Amino acid sequence: MFHYGVIHRELSRIRIFRYLLPAPKSFQNVCSQCSEQERECEKACPIDPPVIHYDSVKFHMVVDEERCLGLKCAKCLKACPAKIPRFYPPEHDHAVICDLCEKEGVRRPQCVEICPSFALEYMNPQFPQHMQRIHPDEKAACMAERLHPLPRNKAQISPEELFGGNE
């Protein structure tokens, strides 16, 4: 809504992925605005100066949409461990990443504004930002550990195991 004025979840800069652990669980995936040395996307960009880079005035990552080579390049996507940059050809064939919904110097992430359960916060970094850069698959694997010893495809111990014998 904020960027394009439409309701279209595929254009959202914060993306939700859902897994069966086997209990279903959703995980969000959004740019963590890494520090300079850890910015794999910027390092991977073949254009000079990089199309995807940190704007030190606005304090967030930006993408120069005009110069971006689009999905056929996608080097930034491949470089990012969490696979954050997304492309939506043909209308938006450039990397799309979180810009903290910044407008005229004011940063008001709309996902935080709308989140009805206060699951999202906009706050100062608590630890090196790139540590939040976790691929959703990996987040799901971590969360699945909470469900140990259930494997991902079983919801319970079977009655046969529970009571013994062939039920």
Partner 1 sequence: MDEIKFNLLEIDLTTGEKKNVDLTEDVKKYLGGRGLGAKILWDRVPVGTDPLSSDNILYLGVGPITGLFGSVTNISALSPLTLLRGESNMNGHFGVELIYGGYNAGVLLRGKANRPSYIYIKDDDVQIREASHLWGQCNPENQQILLTELKKDLDDQNFRIASIGPAGEHLVRNASIDHDFYHHAARLGMGAVMGSKNIKAIAVRGTKPPPYVKPDLLYHLLLKWLREDKDEKIGRRRWGHCVSMPERYYATTEGIKNKQLGWDPICDLSNPLKLEQGAKLWSDSCNLCHVGCKVPYMRRKPPYAPTIGEIRHDNAGGWNANVMIPGYDVQTYLSTYVDVLGLDSEDVSGVVAWMMECYDRGLVTKEDLGGIELTWGNLRAVCQILKKIAYREGIGDKLAEGLKFAPDLINKAEKKYAMTKKGVAITSYEPRGSLSDAVGLVVNPVGELHGGRGSPERIIFDSLTACSFLRRPIPKTFGSIANWARPMLEGACGWRLTEKDWRNLILRASIMERCVSIREGCLPVRDDILPDRFFDEVIYSKYGESKVLDRKKFLEMREKTYLGFGLNAKGIPARKTLKDLDMEFVLPVLEEKLGSLE
Q: Which residues bind partner 1 (CB under 8 A)?
A: 1, 5-11, 15-20, 22-26, 29, 83, 114, 116-117, 136, 146-147, 149-150, 152-157, 159, 162-163, 167
Give the nearest distance from C-beta 129 to partner 1 in angstroms: 21
Distances (CA, A) of 18 to 80, 97, 98: 20, 20, 20
Could you give the 3-state DSSP secondary structure of residue 58?
A: coil
Q: Pick between residue 56 and residue 117 the one whose CB is nearest to partner 1.
A: 117
Q: Nearest approach, Cβ of 71 to partner 1 (angstroms)?
A: 11
In degrees, rounded to 5, the angle at the alpha carbon of residue 66 between the alpha carbons of residues 60 and 69 is 95
Pick 124 or 166: Cβ nearer partner 1: 166
7 vs 57 by CB, closer to partner 1: 7
d(CA 93, CA 105): 25
What is the smallest separation between the CB atom of 101 and partner 1, expressed in angstroms? 14
| Nearest CB to partner 1, comparing residues 8 and 67 | 8
Residue 91 CA: distances (Å) to CA of 4, 13, 97, 165: 11, 15, 15, 61
Closest CA to 84 of 49, 35, 137, 41: 41
Closest CB 83 distance from partner 1, rounded Å: 5
